[in-house]
Structure 1
């Protein structure tokens, strides 16, 4: 069970919005930290060039993160569509399976009933009455 299942739709949207902002802020901070770490190794560059490298590295890092998120979201939508299609097929097959099972059960009952009536027809006329009294 997720934390959002019981929330109204507008609260879910708000929750998603806040979560998106927090993820973006974390990604920006991660990009800045990675850029600072990378630029620190370039100690021969003047400060202005190192800051430019840091800015470009952070921007590239964010672009890669954004592309990764978009691929993940796209794949999630694809999977959702696939799972919904499978679920619809299963929901369509369930009543058909139940009807088939009921039809087989009725057919088996009819076969048993016909075979019992066929056996009764081949027995002597008073046989069933005699056997019922004995039981």
Structure 2
């Protein structure tokens, strides 16, 4: 029998060991949680960027309707009244309807932009459900990753 001795220049590698299934499942779960956390952060950033755009559009629309609009609308109504010889009531009605249409356009843009941002976050939730399902049922090969 010959015995192999380790020299200082060549380290002895331990024999390969098999990872118990429970340990492998735990490490898979930890890796999945880490990756899912990164995915949520990335999608959360994209969602917030989109929501930020919606909030900014909504703030612009609100500022238009609440702060600057009364002065501009009165001036426009007075201009219509003088230019087209309209009655004050007709001029104010035209200006109010125009402001309502512009405000509705800004509101629609804000809602649509926010909805797109939240759709990104729901995609991450769907990916998490799919990953958890694949982790609990590793034999299912019918499920394919969405990304």
User: Same fold per TM (> 0.5)?
Assistant: no
The TM-score bracket by the shorter chain reads: 0.3 to 0.5
Higher relative contact order (CA 8 A, sep 6+): 2
Rg comparison, structure with higher value: 1
Q: TM-score, normalized by length of structure 1?
A: 0.38
